[in-house]
Structure 1
Amino acid sequence: MDTSTRSATIDTITPLRRNLMRACYLLMVVGLALVAWPRLLTSGFDRPLIEGTFDAVLCALQLLSVVGLFAPVRMAAMLVFEVLWKAIWVLVVAVPMLWSGGLTTEASETLFAFSFAVPFVFIIPWRALARDLLRGREPWRAASTAK
């Protein structure tokens, strides 16, 4: 790979961290294969549209997680996405439910399922990703190729 286009983050991540990231992707691959795909493939036409849409997005996430097994650092944005959408749900849905009198059974089950992503927060190489993103800004316009 050309060193000018290679991410510095890839070189700064330890093998242990890289393998822990692979474990995160594996958890997503297996978990979503067991939950999202069966729900999507066996749901009937009477299912609410948003639920089918949500499961389709989760299935796409599962397929991309397979790529993350082989390129864990380059696919790190997926782990960040996984943590962010779950954190937003917890803050916007679960916490207000708790404050207003308690979680429903369905919300409690969802919160439990989301707890499997908590280790991701400690495994994602946040500092290295931020450094890579800030250093590798892309230009707004294409560079001139004229000589």
Structure 2
Amino acid sequence: MPVLDILDLPAACPPDTAWMGLDLGEQTIGVAVSDTTRMIASPLELIRKSKFTLEAQTLFKLMDARKISGLVIGLPVNMDGTEGPRAQSCRAFARNLERHRPVNVAFWDERLSTSAVERFLIDELDLSRKRRAGVVDRTAAAWILQGALDRVRDQASWV
């Protein structure tokens, strides 16, 4: 299944099913999920990167357990809109997932998501550096997924 535009993802997914958001870091994968109405994203889990096959198995187990119908993967686009090596790595991750199992995937521009989450965790929650380390990637995944959910909902209200 090809990568979808975020506005085409709802049509590819059964109604009343949740989506999963991923923040693909160098050492971890932040995972978030939406509710079945696709209104609210919540941080879920942090997967430590090791071997791709193990990461994929973990993601597929989470997807099956929660009946996830779509993935929104954060795409780290450069500030000038170009895609660098990290964005290409995210695209390769999606292609590799597809080789294991068909998945409805859309990318979401994640520019500044981690820094926005860091600011929130510091300014609003006053979390120490040590406590932030375990929360940032999961929360960034929720930030990415929430942005995509809001965009889809905003588009639907204009139609």
TM-score in terms of structure 1 length = 0.28
The answer to which structure has the higher strand fraction is: 2
Q: Which structure has the bigger radius of gyration?
A: 1
TM-score in terms of structure 2 length = 0.26
